[in-house]
Amino acid sequence: MKLLLLLAFLLMVIEVLFNTIWMIASPKRWFALPPWVRLSGGLTASRFSKGGGALQVRILGVILLALMSYLIYGAFWGTR
């Protein structure tokens, strides 16, 4: 059971890290990813792929990357 939970956690981490890297690098290309990969929720390409919307997507990517880094650190190297 622990192995299954660890695999699920790692899959989630890989997916979120993939999304955040694309969000930070290029919001326009992030919106070009298939919907089942990008998990964009209510964000639309017409509104968030350029200008201030793209900046918001990049900021969200940085926040998610920081959150995932904190979770990974806590899961593997945090105090017990």
Count: domains in the chain? 1
Instruction: Cite the DSSP H helix spans in the chain.
Output: 2-25, 27-32, 35-38, 45-48, 51-76
* Domain contains 25: no
Within-domain flag for 72: yes
Q: Cβ distance 16 to 68 under 8 Å?
A: yes
Percent of the chain residues topping a pLDDT of 90: 36
Residue 55: which domain range? Answer: 49-80
d(CA 36, CA 75): 26
Please write the tens of the pLDDT for every residue from 31-65.
998 888 887 888 888 899 899 999 999 999 999 99
pLDDT of 80 higher than 80: no
Cα radius of gyration rounded to whole Å, the chain: 14
Q: Is residue 29 part of a domain?
A: no
